[in-house]
Amino acid sequence: MDHRRQSRRDFLRGRSALGAAADLIGSAIDTAADAIGNVFPESPPPAALPRHTEQRIVTLARRAMACEWELRLVVSREQNETTAGMAALDLVERLEDQLTVYRDDSELIDINRNAAATPWPVEARLFELLQLAGELYDETGGAFDLTSGPLSQVWGFAQRAGVLPQEDARLAALQQVGWSDVMLDPAERTLQYLREGIEINVNSIGKGYALDRAGELLSERGVEASLMHGGTSTLLARGVNPLAEGAGWEVGLGDPTQPDQRLAKFVLRDEAFSTSGSGTQFFEYEGRRYGHLIDPRTGWPAEGLHSASVIAPTAAQADALSTACYILGVEGTAELCERRPDLCAVLLAPATDADGAPSVRIHAFNFQRARPNEPHPFREGVEVLSGGCR
């Protein structure tokens, strides 16, 4: 069977969803530009499927938020979920119109232009997202901060051209960062910046938020099972995959030193997965590597990890906390996961093997406690080094 990616144009031309069914075995989707390794959404081998079944997985694709989105649905001759799926992707596009800072007419641009002068009204669902952002700011001790855009600017990453800033420029940018200068008024549903120069950019949580909203829409339309990703770095798994005999949706995490190898496999059900790293957005200066994920507390790029991956109850949380955990590092992530037993985290750190070849050290948190009846997900033979892995 071939793996065909479906667009709105394909369906408007009347192509059959069953005819577009995809065998997803062996498909390996590269992570987004800000992630390390590979994320591998997978399906069971055809031999595992009941012979009488006519259910198939169809993949709908759309480009939005500067990346490729894919939604995988189970369809049959009796039930075709593709109309609901296209509506979910339409919603992602509408949310991009609201949240982008690259279009002059977005709601977020209006907020950034006006909220320093006066309390500015915010749409209800966006207000909820900003409240969540404030909670995560407090929970991570400021490692997650939607106001950190000036740091990306001064380091050149906003222009995709990294540069080492002068110290006075870095410090000046740091003075324009701080969620503590964002005031949310739930009674009036308004936002106000307490200092000139403060702005919000939702890049580190927006894809996850859009996934959650798309998942809500699918539920409202009666779609119980789906796997959806935005740029492959953030995924939302809903329900069971009926083609996997009632199990959830399998996702594999790649080895950053061996891109065709998997370090771990996770079975997700009604939860989200996100990976953050600086694998492609970085520059080197005088032998030191600087990545695009910048600690908003210091103004310096975070160091010491290949990547951070988080499994969380919602995609918005997973998206935001994978970034935060990359910045927090091993010790900070251990403390966060101690407070949040509903989270699982995997940090991949550079190491060398006995022969001096590049290797990976795995730090895993909360997996045994979160999934006591399932086998440990990590590849046999790879040592799991973590005081927090229970």
Least confident stretch, 6-15, 230-239, 276-285, 361-370: 6-15
More confident position, 51 or 202: 202
Q: Mean pLDDT across the chain, nearest whole number? A: 81
pLDDT range class, residue 80, cuts 50, 70, 90 = confident
Cβ atoms of 28 and 37 within 8 Å: the answer is: no
How far, in Å, CA of 190 to CA of 200, rounded? 14
Best-predicted range by mean pLDDT (252-261, 286-295, 318-327): 318-327
Q: Residue 282: which pLDDT band, with cuts at 50, 70 and 90?
A: low
CB 343 within 8 A of CB 366: yes
Of residues 263, 266, 243, 268, the one with CA closest to residue 23: 243
Q: How far is CA 254 from CA 46, 233, 275, in A?
A: 23, 12, 11
- Percent of the chain exceeding pLDDT 70 equals 78
Q: How far apart are CA 86 and CA 9, in angstroms?
A: 11
pLDDT the model gives residue 263? 85
- What does the pLDDT read at residue 132? 98
Instruction: Read off the pLDDT band of 243 (50, 70, 90).
Output: confident
Q: Look at residue 353 in the predicted model and tell me its pLDDT.
A: 82
Residue 52 has pLDDT above 70, yes or no: no
Across the range 147-154, mean pLDDT stands at 91
First to last CA, the chain: 41
Answer yes or no: is pLDDT of 86 > 80. yes
In angstroms, the CA 248 to CA 226 distance is 10
Q: Considering the entire predicted model, what is its pTM? A: 0.83
Banded model confidence at residue 67, pLDDT cuts 50, 70, 90: very high
Say what the pLDDT of residue 316 is.
98
The Cα–Cα gap between 243 and 1 comes to 15
Q: In this predicted structure, what is the pLDDT of residue 368?
A: 61
Q: For 295-312, write each residue's pLDDT tens digit.
A: 999 999 999 899 999 999
Phi, psi of 22 (to 5 degrees): -115, 135
pLDDT for 314 equals: 97
Kindly indicate the confidence band of residue 289, based on its pLDDT and cuts at 50, 70 and 90: confident
Return the pLDDT at 124.
98
141: left (phi over 0), alpha (psi -120 to 50) or beta: left
Share of the chain above pLDDT 90, in %: 57
pLDDT at 21 over 80: no
User: 167 in helix, strand or coil?
Assistant: helix
Using the predicted structure, report yes or no on whether residue 94 has a pLDDT greater than 90. yes
Instruction: Give which of 266, 231, 207, 281 is closest to 34, Cα–Cα.
Output: 281
pLDDT for 158 beyond 70: yes
Q: Give me the pLDDT at residue 44, please.
A: 41
Q: Residue 11 pLDDT more than 70?
A: no
